[in-house]
Every structure is written in C-alpha cells, then in structure tokens.
Chains A and B, each alone.
Chain A
Amino acid sequence: MKTLTIRDLNRKTARVVNALERGESFELWRNGKAVGYLTQTPPVPERKPDWKAHFEWLRSQSPTQDKSILAEFEKDRRRLRAREGSMGNLK
C-alpha cells in the first residue's frame, strides 16, 4: 500500500482519486504518523450485540439440562470454597 502525506493529498487530489478508482489504496500520514486509509473498500459495519437473539436461543434449550448444569457449577464452586476453607481462609 502506498503512503500519502496530507500535503500530497492537497496537491494531487485528482490523481489520488483517479488511483482510488483504479482500486489503489493509500495510507494517509500526518506529522510522521499514519492517521488513516483511503480505499475503495467500505469499512466492515460494526456489529452490535444482539442479546435478544441470544436469550431466545437460551429459552429454546432444555430446561431439564439447565438444572444439572447449574448444579455442577455450584458443586465446582463449593469444592473450591471447601479447599480455601481447609486452608483456614473464608472464615
């Protein structure tokens, strides 16, 4: 990818746009630092969390399984606490 300074962009705007039309891309620099890109490709749209869809999925899962999973998680946690307790902690 070619680099391009702000000064170049100001001086050669028409040439840069022609190059963009041909499919070239540029890294734009200002004060010795890259500040962005000029390219034909539109940015990927930012995806937002879709929690509604997530919880719909959750509601479609077997409720019987829910109880067993939570019980196993709690058992795991209790085991951890028992170990801490045996070291004299968590009193």
Chain B
Amino acid sequence: MKFAADSSLLMRLYVRGGDTETVERFLTEDAKVVSVSELARIEVLNILLRYPERADQFLADLQLGTQLKLEPLKWDDAFRQAESLARRFSPSLRPGGHDLFLVAAAVTMGATWFLSFDRNSRQRALASVAGLRVWPPLDKNEKGLARHASRTAS
C-alpha cells in the first residue's frame, strides 16, 4: 500500500501540533513509508527553509528514503489526471487548482491512501472520489460532499 501525503500532513512531521500523537500512532503502526510528490516537497520546503534545522531534517529524511519516499512522477500524466478530475468533479466540488494537482499527483504515483489534514479545502473529498482512501477519515460534511460529487460526476 502506498501512502501519499499532502503538505498539511508533512508539516505535522516537522512541527508539533494537536495532531502530533495521532500522526505518530498512525505511522508507527506497520512502520508506514510516506510517499511525497515534488509538489508537496516544494510547498513544505518553502516554509521549513525559514527554520534551517527543520529543513535540514526534512531534506535528510528525503535523502535517506526510509520514512519519506520522494516519488518520481511523469508530470504529463499528472496534469492529464488533474484535468480529468477537474472535468468530472469541478462543477460539484469546486476544488482549488492546487488541490487538484496534489490529488492528481497521488493518483499518478499509484497511491492507495491520501494523508491530509487540510479540512479547509475540498481536497480530501476530492481524493475520496478519485478512488483514494483518506486519512484521517472524512468527516460527515466531507462524506456528503463526496457522495454528491460521485452522483453528479459526468
């Protein structure tokens, strides 16, 4: 199983917050490897570079490839996937462009899971209708959005 992380999950690996213990428990169970797209890598690096020790740790983890695995992507395929998601779900879900790319990257890298804490966008619902399992699980509102999007998808 491949676990693709968005930037909100990756940030929680380098910054403590209310979800830290939940993330630790989830990843420690079965010693999960987290897959990272270049898109998420740059987004996280852009913030962490202002705090050199955190950025160094992030880059070292990617270099080591044991816990975080940078996934090489065929970006042509990822962009096609993003367009396909937009055509099917944009009218109902209205996802942000950036969300489309993150989910499309996860689908293109062959992920089975999408790990994201970003509940302020439609990204998690989009990942669900794109066929990915989402962690943490979708809340009631997101499930409703996903059901509606699935029903109305062309």
Cα A85 to Cα B5 in complex, Å, equals 24
Q: How large is the interface on B (under 10, 10 to 19, 20 to 34, 35 or more residues)?
A: 35 or more
- The answer to whether residues A55 and B54 also contact, given A69-B48, A73-B11 and a CB cut-off of 8 A, is no
**Dominant secondary structure of chain A at its interface with chain B:** helix
Cα A84 to Cα B99 in complex, Å, equals 11
Q: How large is the interface on A (under 10, 10 to 19, 20 to 34, 35 or more residues)?
A: 20 to 34
A48 contacts across to B, CB distance below 8 A: 31, 66
**Dominant secondary structure of chain B at its interface with chain A:** helix
Taking a contact as CB atoms under 8 Å apart, the answer to whether B66 and A76 are in contact is: no
For residue B1, CB closer than 8 A to chain A, the reply is no
Taking a contact as CB atoms under 8 Å apart, the answer to whether B16 and A63 are in contact is: yes
Q: Write the chain B residue with the least CB distance to A56.
A: B24
The residues in B between 1 and 37 inclusive whose CB is less than 8 angstroms from any CB of A are 7-8, 11, 13-17, 20, 24, 27-28, 31-33
Taking a contact as CB atoms under 8 Å apart, the answer to whether A66 and B15 are in contact is: yes
Cα A52 to Cα B23 in complex, Å, equals 11
For residue A14, CB closer than 8 A to chain B, the reply is no
Cα A42 to Cα B16 in complex, Å, equals 40
Taking a contact as CB atoms under 8 Å apart, the answer to whether A81 and B31 are in contact is: no
B84 contacts across to A, CB distance below 8 A: none
A73 contacts across to B, CB distance below 8 A: 7-8, 11, 15, 47
B17 contacts across to A, CB distance below 8 A: 66, 70
For residue A54, CB closer than 8 A to chain B, the reply is yes
Those 8 A-B pairs whose CB atoms lie nearest each other, nearest first? A49-B67, A84-B96, A51-B28, A55-B24, A51-B27, A47-B66, A66-B16, A69-B15
Q: Which residues of A contact B (CB under 8 A)?
A: 47-52, 54-55, 57-59, 61, 63, 65-66, 69-70, 72-73, 76-77, 80-81, 84, 89-91
Other CB < 8 Å A-B pairs besides A73-B7, A81-B120, 8 of them? A50-B66, A50-B67, A54-B61, A69-B50, A76-B47, A80-B96, A81-B96, A84-B98
